[in-house]
Structure 1
Amino acid sequence: MTTRRADADHSTSVAGQPQEAPPTPLTPYAHLPRRYHDRHIAHSTVDAFGSAHWLLAAREPQPGRGALRPYDALVVTVDAEGRDHATELSALRARFPRIDALPDGGFVVADARSRRSEQHVQVYDALGRESWTFRVGDAIEQFLVDPAGRLWVGHFDEGVFGDDELSRPGLRCWSADGEPLWAYEAVEGAGEIYDCYALNVGEDGVWACAYDDFALLEIDADRTDGSDGSVRPRLNSVAGAHALAVWPGRAMFVGGYGDDRDRLVDAVVTHDRVRPVSTGRLVRSDGTPLGRRRTVSRGRQVYVQEEPHTAWAVLDIGV
């Protein structure tokens, strides 16, 4: 696995207006070994330590109103050195699975949609044995584990405005055994979260941008005990980004509405605001436009996975 810097010249901003930057190519990062390509990819992610994971099943889970028959799955992990191994998981119940890895080698899997009566989060140990089940709320948009093993869950609008009270804050933190640790509350300089568009969970903290004011929220993960000052908002004019990379004094926003789905906005981050300095486009490593994709934001990196979801690429702003 390799990374490549997204170069930016912070001196190019004139009269406060962001300048146009050349397209920024992604760098290939991790590939699902070809011997697994005959299986259905139920979900995939990159964890807090840089390992890529694919959740594989024999066939696609069939959503419906009736109970879903539990199914077995395989997690294929490719670590930062490109080595791979597999872990078998049994009796998964997620129709729309989301997965991430725990620091102890285990995994947590959630169903993105759930009823209030369902224990829709399953925790597995490093041997693939189920150890815990609990709820984190309906309509999961973002699902990321931090280096300490805490689970950060962002919700989209159907959860925030739905009948599941666990989803209403829009962004919450949970322990790996289902203990609620923290829930977002509006602070001066940032309103309620109606849809958690972007969430960055890295080694040095947690950042989020949410509809509708898109303030850049810096969350102190070590103050999730409810003490004051856990959230520091910054005024932000960049709307609609679905991913972001952060570095001391700097942020890179990925995506936007309509024709801006591949937009990159490079910005200076001050004590109270975000100041865009350049805009450009994110492209594939060969310079061609990106297709449909999912993203994972981890500190200075944004990982991008296009259909058919067998490979990850990376944007790294910190090297």
Structure 2
Amino acid sequence: MGDGIRTDRAWSLPKADLLAGRRALWWTAGPDGELAVMLVHRRRLRRSGTKGWVGSRPRPPFDALLVTVTDQGERRVALPALQNAPTHLALLPDRRLLLVVSRSFKEATTGSWQRNATVLDPSGKLLDTFCIGDDITALTTDPGGRIWTVYGDEGIYGDNPVSWKGMAGWDSAGRAVWSPEGRLPALPLGGWTAATEGEDVWLAWYPGGSPGTVLTRITPSTGETANLLSPVRNPDGLAVRGNRAVLTVRDHNRRSVEVVRAELEGTDWTVTDRRRLRTPGRVVLHCGQGRDGVLWLRAGHTWLRIRA
């Protein structure tokens, strides 16, 4: 990749798991630099029309295995009889696990919105459930345990009012703690990806009627919000460290991705390097997450780290 863009292989699904029939589905990069991947046996999976691992959905109830990878090694926890297949997986303080289904529909009998977020303790025991909006396209958690969501157009223009503003911040009990009202240059039409940098949260989204992509930086302790035009349209992954950023744009279901590095000068990003990276596996939806200047990129059963 040259001097401007550095990559390394963080983890690959062991061959023993593949031979045992386990498949890697949802995953997340945690606030402390850990990687968490949920495995499900292939016998429980059915295919949708979407290519790649995102098109594999288990039939509930299903058993899963959570693998957490740190510098000290792997930790494995069995999660039996899960009732809902999540779209997003995230980590919370005290090794709690957050499982989120992107869609939430109104119950016909009660008129209330389905609880699409589930919190489990480190052993897999249910702790809490709540609703955090409909049509969640990107999600991350920060070191303080807050949950950050970005919504798609079906949520923004749908019936659930908490999705109407395009993005939101929540505490780990599902209470709203941040709203973008009055802080954005335009109404979001949909979201792309999310990242954290220390306390700060970065959300990538696109406004209606504009050809560009906006990167919104939020400082939760002060509520300060900055909006910057992204150097890349429609990024799948973003990581920021200081005035440097690295972004990726996938060739869907192909073994390559465009990697762009940029530097912030005032309020403008300047692209300093742009390369096409050949990946060890196919790159599909939900392929990138950013943590403290490190962009985690999933390519098939392998995870790469790209540093800003």
Q: Same fold (TM over 0.5)?
A: yes
Shift in alpha-carbon separation, 1:42–1:266, aligned structure 2, 3 A: closer
Identify unmatched segments of 5+ residues in structure 1: 9-23, 224-228
**In the TM superposition, what is the alpha-carbon distance from 1:108 to its structure 2 partner?**
0.6
Q: Distance in 1 between matches of 2:202 and 2:162?
A: 20
| Residue 72 (1) aligns with residue 63 (2) | yes
Once the two structures are superposed, what CA deviation does each residue of 1:37-58 show, in whole Å capped at 9, x if it has no partner? 2223331121111111111223
Q: For residues 281-292 of structure 1, what are the structure 2 equivalents within 5 Å?
A: 281-284=275-278, 291-292=282-283
Q: Distance in 2 between matches of 1:246 and 1:119?
A: 32
Q: Which amino acid aligns with 2:29?
A: V
Q: For residues 220-231 of structure 1, what are the structure 2 equivalents within 5 Å?
A: 220-223=219-222, 229-231=223-225
Q: Distance in 1 between matches of 2:236 and 2:249?
A: 6
Shift in alpha-carbon separation, 1:101–1:35, aligned structure 2, 3 A: farther
Shift in alpha-carbon separation, 1:276–1:263, aligned structure 2, 3 A: farther
Q: Give the superposed CA RMSD.
A: 2.7
Instruction: Pick from 225, 232, 236 the counterpart of residue 226 of structure 2.
Output: 232
Name whichever structure is richer in strand by fraction: 2
Contact kept in structure 1, 2:231 and 2:271, CA below 8 Å: no
Q: Distance in 2 between matches of 1:6 and 1:154?
A: 33
Contact kept in structure 1, 2:11 and 2:302, CA below 8 Å: yes
Q: For residues 224-303 of structure 1, what are the structure 2 equivalents within 5 Å?
A: 229-236=223-230, 238-255=232-249, 262-271=257-266, 273-284=267-278, 291-293=282-284, 294-303=287-296
Identify unmatched segments of 5+ residues in structure 2: 49-58, 107-112
Contact kept in structure 1, 2:193 and 2:288, CA below 8 Å: no
Once the two structures are superposed, what CA deviation does each residue of 1:12-33 show, in whole Å capped at 9, x if it has no partner? xxxxxxxxxxxx4631012233
Contact kept in structure 1, 2:60 and 2:85, CA below 8 Å: no
Q: For residues 1-319 of structure 1, what are the structure 2 equivalents within 5 Å?
A: 7-8=3-4, 24=5, 26-37=7-18, 38-58=21-41, 59-60=44-45, 69-81=60-72, 83-116=73-106, 117-187=113-183, 190-212=185-207, 213-223=212-222, 229-236=223-230, 238-255=232-249, 262-271=257-266, 273-284=267-278, 291-293=282-284, 294-307=287-300, 310-317=301-308
Contact kept in structure 2, 1:234 and 1:274, CA below 8 Å: yes
Q: Distance in 2 between matches of 1:231 and 1:6?
A: 34
Percent of counterpart pairs with the same letter? 25
The size of the alignment, in residue pairs, is: 280
Contact kept in structure 2, 1:170 and 1:193, CA below 8 Å: yes
**In the TM superposition, what is the alpha-carbon distance from 1:290 to its structure 2 partner?**
6.8
Q: Which amino acid aligns with 1:216?
A: L
Q: Higher relative contact order by CA 8 Å / sep ≥ 6: 1 or 2?
A: 1
Q: Distance in 2 between matches of 1:29 and 1:134?
A: 33
Once the two structures are superposed, what CA deviation does each residue of 1:117-173 show, in whole Å capped at 9, x if it has no partner? 321111001121100000111212112111111111112222212222222222111
Q: Distance in 1 between matches of 2:251 and 2:12?
A: 29
Name which of structure 1's ranges 28-37 and 173-182 shifts more when overlaid on structure 2: 28-37
Partner of 2:109: none
Q: Which amino acid aligns with 2:13?
A: L
Contact kept in structure 2, 1:26 and 1:283, CA below 8 Å: no
Q: Distance in 2 between matches of 1:237 and 1:210?
A: 13
SS of residue matched to 1:36: helix
TM-score (norm 1): 0.78
Q: Distance in 1 between matches of 2:2 and 2:78?
A: 37
SS of residue matched to 2:45: coil
**In the TM superposition, what is the alpha-carbon distance from 1:79 to its structure 2 partner?**
1.0
